Structure 1
Amino acid sequence: MGLAIGALVAGAALAEEGLIKSHGYSFFGELSYPADYTHFNYVNPDAPKGGEISLAASGTFDSMNPFTRKGRAGALSWMVYESLLGDMPATSGGLPADVYGEAYGLLAESLEYDEGKTFVIFNMRPEARFSDGTPVTAHDVVFSHNLFLEQGLKSYADAVKRRITGAEALSDHRVKFTFADGISRRSLIDQVGGTPVFPRAWYEETGARLDEPRLDAAPGSGPYMLESYDVNRRIIYKRNPDYWGADLPINKGRHNFDRIRLEYFADAGAAFEAFKAGEYTFRAETNSKQWATGYDFPAVDNGWVTTNILPDGTPPSPSGIIFNLGKETLQDVRVREAITLGYNSEWTNESLQFGLFKQRHSFSQGTPAEAKGVPEGAELALLQSLGDVVPPEMLTTPVVMAHTSDPARLTDRRNLRRAMKLLDEAGWTVGEDGMRRNAAGMLLSLELPINSSGSATLSAVVENFAKNLQAMGIEAKVEKLDPSTYTNRDRDRDYDLIFDSYAAFLGSGTGLMQRYGSREAAFSLFNPAGLASPMVDAIIEASLNTTSREDELVALRALDRALRFERFMIPTWYNGAHWVAYWDMFEHPEEIPPYALGSLDFWWYNAEKAEALKAAGALR
């Protein structure tokens, strides 16, 4: 069935005495795939099964429990688990990858909910099994829900407890969730439907905790299971030959590789050399220097390695240099604006990134949720309705855009003069030694840690940014840390500035509160700036109460405008496409869906091409 715009087919949801029954869920009620769909439109339903795909991972790991709050979890360790609706957003970034905001039954074959969305009942597939052969039941679903509340991230648990008032197994394969009164109906059904399900019996037998690292993690019900690991060197997942859901329409044409292998490397340089030597076979390139100059080795010349640019319809991650708003020196917006002016995007792109990137401005760049110009129409009306939490100047001035700089030289003198004026106004004046201090004599000093296993290009970007700060009289220190130390510093918010990211948004949901809201700002790992803005809170609340996609987008544009106004991040670059390189034995559908590259999901292995590479001596 085609997905032509305007030809969305209402999901097979039947209203019987106010009860809605369906094979999937979307908040606004429309589903693109009917109840009798046979597979997602973008997959190759006849894709062969077999072979191995291998990728690089950086740093270290000491756990195969992906939800631990200590240590470092192994790459892709969450992919063995499934949820009631869809799978974990692991291989395709959520399901399906060609439409937004829709989920279809996986562990659940159907769901029922009332028109007011005060509860939901999931009817589970009795054939579902964990990889150890034990059934997946409603009791496991309730146990998993409670486990996250008791041992999961505090910001997540607190948010869920306020909204979900009950979880009850009505029978072995029928589970009911009830929701709080007086709150938005957003992120309720999809929240509980998207929570991973763990085996209760395994946790009770082992005494394991969700929040602690362990290498013998709970078995999952997904298509892949852990085959082996060598700590800090390698992890191998294998396709479960007895996977219970292999023939479901939601899985047709997917999960095609027999094995997925992760090779660990201490740094990005070593990882790239290993790819050139064929030690792993697929690479999603993010380093512009590597993409521009690195792919001229013999395997490319011989046609053994393919490089490709594939479309990417997702908004770029809002990555950049983030201010720790918990630091007193950074709470003055004039200081943050001055520091922001030290980043020269144009010079960085031309001199360090081969002109291959674009400057990001928005938290939802290139989507209908991106704010533009001066607020007007419905967006202006929304902002005005929020009262005093919205600064008057935000109503009359254009949305904050990333500043422009001279691409010919690192230090843009015009921006430097403007930055120094802002610092003077904020009370950080230059002394005889050329350093800036406040009235109490405290030095304006900033620490920016970076991961030593990251790319040399990122290191150069950060170090050159620090040079501009030093030219302003700021003591700017870049600290290269080993992966474990860096992870701990990041989690503890032990930094002044950090290169990190938030999540882009295409729709509303209570996850916005976890990432950008005030309530958990002091400790949420999803809010590295510690942003706590009454204006942002009010706009998110307004977005949660919208009842149409049109009104939702109005609220999201207002949110984007407000986030940019708060100046808690220096926006950096983005790439509007996927850069991929792989040894020529993988194939993919002719049309890549907008919301996922899908290399681990709906790509497949060509055995004849693989044998040809081995016969040529290219691969072992």
Structure 2
Amino acid sequence: MQAWRTGLAAVALGLAALPLRAEVVVSHGISTFGDLKYPADFKHLEYVNPAAPKGGEISIWGFGGFDSMNPYSVKGRAAGLSSIFLETILESVSDEVGSAYCLLCETLEYPPGREWVIFNLRPEAKFSDGTPLTAEDVRFSYQLFLEKGLTDFRAVLAQQVESAEVLGPHRIRFTFKAGFPTRDLPQTVGGLPVLSQAYYTAKGLDLEEGSMTPFLGSAPYVLDRVNVGQTVVYRRNPDYWGKDLPIMQGRSNFDRIRLEYYADYAAAFEGFKGGSYTFRDEASSVSWATGYDFPAVQNGQVKKVELPSGTMATGQAFLMNMRRAKFADPRVREAVGLMFNFEWSNATLFYGIYERVNSVWENSDLEATGVPGADEVAVLKPLVDEGLLPAGILTDEAVMAPVSGDRQLDRGNLRKANALLDAAGWTTGADGLRRNAAGETLKLEILNDSQTFDRVFIPYVANLRQAGIDAVMTRIDNAQLEARERPPAYDFDIVVGNARASLIPGPELKQFYGSATADVSAFNLMGLKSPAADKLIDLVIAAKTRAEMEARTRALDRVLRAERFWVPQWYKAVHTVAYYDMFEHPETLPPYGRGELDFWWFNADKAEALKAAGVLR
């Protein structure tokens, strides 16, 4: 928000920011770039139904199982939605990018340079046990995540924040370190979950340890019941302190949110058809194309719909573990990528419903396309001059995923892969397998925790073997996969994961792609260590205007894609969902959130009709 200068005395209702004193902004929210969409006196978010009824239950499914209610530890497997108990000082919304509004706070204060921020907490804010939420709880939570949070997260947080100082029972100040870009830091500290210090201490909880005792928070939902590894139910708290806040109108409408766990996708789909849970985000193209012919769909009792989505692709990909010597040569990584035939897979296996992921910022304005524009060249050229990037980055088109033919094995791409592997020193022996100078075979293991993906992985493995790569697919359960992916083990060659990104990228990039956290990050699975990417990440974080941020992000996207640490997979530009016809939602959904657990609601009459028809129990 614009900081109004001394001498402006007019105070108009609805201004998004007002002066506390010279050079200090007082506001109900904060935006990274530009103005806030919602004024200080807004009544409710545009995309909700403020008159939505409360009641009923929505149920979804989870994969595998769980043995913990702690979502912030790498120990144990946390139940889905186990952070649902906790709120943050600031709340982001689904129809605006880069903005956050006061939730636990009434206002925030900050200077134009954002060197510090003060949050004025709402005195009425309470934890779900009725105890007050104070600035001491905020400071305690910050210290907890600084000392015991995920290693990569706390390493970045420690670089950013100088101190957290309690100024009063409901007033806390965060001061940021000099020399670190401050553009996103009010949102960063305002986005930390707030835990009850008294409860955490009394229960002897440990953020680093798995536990079935959930943290005490202030959010609308509390734990109702749990069957470890199988079912977890969250219950709406009728005494939720913030139910009358404008930002909470038309939200948290279900009395219960239930998760049912299944060992695999096929079993979960059968559970949905049988009415064991009631909302399904369909991830299987074959199920979407051929599986929704059961009577409840034909009778209109289950809705099968495509909902619009304005979000980026997830960056889903086969990720290569570059900590392993076999992936050190980018020619090997490029060859591995050439052997996946997306076009054949999409036509033969996916019924043509997907598009290919090419960019870390796919389906957004931040995606690098074609040759670099002048703004990107200005960012990239200094790195070329330093010898951190090849000169071709200034003139070449952005790296795109290879295009294959309509047969499973594309002979042209096979020839390119063979040439790359030969040049990288992996020569073919009499048995058809490639070996290096030490006589070691080029062995690749792709981990798979779901039989649903066998039909994708098996043809890919066959293509890799045609190139002389000793490729295998290893089926393991979800718990084993999670353990092998986690730091510090990183015990894998190739796994399916996500190249993560956001529409306003900031310090989280250091966790996703930074060299300093590559061997401790739960997100940088590929172990990327690129001095050029590191410098570009710093430039993205330091961008002061949207134009600067966009140009620098596209340059970073270009460099990340040139590293070929992934074999990009696919995405849909729509949400494919199915649900029993007892849920309703606003006619126009926001671009950046589907919201079924947030602002959809329950129609009790429709639910009774489904039960009367025997469709639901």
TM-score (norm 1): 0.95
- The answer to whether structure 1 residue 70 and structure 2 residue 67 are counterparts is no
- Between the aligned partners of 2:81 and 2:499, the Cα distance in structure 1 is 20
AA matched with 2:444:
L
- The answer to whether structure 1 residue 604 and structure 2 residue 609 are counterparts is no
- Give the superposition deviation at 1:455: 5.3
- Between the aligned partners of 2:218 and 2:113, the Cα distance in structure 1 is 32
Q: Partner of 1:12 in structure 2?
A: 17
AA matched with 1:45:
P
Q: How does 1:59-458 map to 2 (within 5 A)?
A: 59-86=64-91, 95-386=92-383, 387-388=385-386, 389-407=388-406, 409-451=407-449, 454=450, 456=452, 458=453
Q: Deviations over 1:382-413 (max 9, x none)?
A: 11133322221111111101110012x11111
AA matched with 1:79:
I
Compare 371-380 and 188-197 and name the one that shifted more.
371-380
Q: How does 1:510-521 map to 2 (within 5 A)?
A: 510-521=507-518
- Give the superposition deviation at 1:291: 0.2
Q: Confirm or deny: 8 A CA contact 2:17 2:25 kept in the other structure.
A: no
- Between the aligned partners of 1:455 and 1:556, the Cα distance in structure 2 is 37
Q: Deviations over 1:523-576 (max 9, x none)?
A: 211101000111111111111222111111111111111111111111111111
- Between the aligned partners of 2:457 and 2:18, the Cα distance in structure 1 is 52
Identity %: 49
AA matched with 1:464:
P
Partner SS for 2:198: helix
Q: Deviations over 1:342-376 (max 9, x none)?
A: 10000111111111101111111121111111112
- Between the aligned partners of 2:524 and 2:459, the Cα distance in structure 1 is 26
- Between the aligned partners of 1:618 and 1:517, the Cα distance in structure 2 is 51
- Give the superposition deviation at 1:245: 0.3
Segments ≥4 residues shifted beyond 3 Å: none
AA matched with 1:24:
G
Compare 540-549 and 276-285 and name the one that shifted more.
540-549
AA matched with 1:429:
T
Partner SS for 1:103: strand
Q: Confirm or deny: 8 A CA contact 2:15 2:40 kept in the other structure.
A: no
Partner SS for 2:43: coil
Q: Confirm or deny: 8 A CA contact 1:186 1:508 kept in the other structure.
A: no
- Between the aligned partners of 2:99 and 2:575, the Cα distance in structure 1 is 23
Label 1:310 to 1:455 Cα distance change in 2 as closer, same or farther (>3 A): farther
Paired positions, count? 600
- The answer to whether structure 1 residue 488 and structure 2 residue 483 are counterparts is yes
Q: Partner of 1:5 in structure 2?
A: none
- Between the aligned partners of 2:356 and 2:33, the Cα distance in structure 1 is 33
- Between the aligned partners of 2:42 and 2:115, the Cα distance in structure 1 is 28
- Give the superposition deviation at 1:509: 0.7
Q: Which runs of 5+ in 2 are unaligned?
A: 1-13
AA matched with 2:585:
H
- Give the superposition deviation at 1:169: 1.2
AA matched with 1:406:
G
- Between the aligned partners of 1:327 and 1:72, the Cα distance in structure 2 is 26
Q: Confirm or deny: 8 A CA contact 1:66 1:74 kept in the other structure.
A: yes
Q: Deviations over 1:231-280 (max 9, x none)?
A: 11100000001000001011000000000000111111111001001111
Q: Confirm or deny: 8 A CA contact 2:501 2:509 kept in the other structure.
A: no
- Between the aligned partners of 1:575 and 1:446, the Cα distance in structure 2 is 29
- Give the superposition deviation at 1:150: 1.3
Q: Confirm or deny: 8 A CA contact 1:448 1:496 kept in the other structure.
A: yes
Partner SS for 1:346: helix
Partner SS for 2:394: helix
Q: Partner of 1:33 in structure 2?
A: 38
Partner SS for 2:305: strand
Partner SS for 1:16: coil
- Give the superposition deviation at 1:116: 1.9
RMSD (Å) for aligned C-alpha atoms: 1.1
Q: Partner of 1:499 in structure 2?
A: 496
Q: Deviations over 1:291-316 (max 9, x none)?
A: 00000001111111001100010001
- Give the superposition deviation at 1:340: 0.6
AA matched with 2:434:
R
Compare 11-20 and 99-108 and name the one that shifted more.
11-20
AA matched with 1:612:
A
Q: Confirm or deny: 8 A CA contact 1:10 1:31 kept in the other structure.
A: no
- Give the superposition deviation at 1:186: 2.9
Partner SS for 1:77: coil
Q: Confirm or deny: 8 A CA contact 1:145 1:195 kept in the other structure.
A: yes
Q: Confirm or deny: 8 A CA contact 2:59 2:278 kept in the other structure.
A: yes
Q: Which runs of 5+ in 1 are unaligned?
A: 1-8, 87-94
TM-score (norm 2): 0.96
AA matched with 2:200:
Y
AA matched with 2:403:
T
Partner SS for 1:541: helix
Q: Deviations over 1:29-88 (max 9, x none)?
A: 5111000001000101111110000011110100011112211000100111001001xx
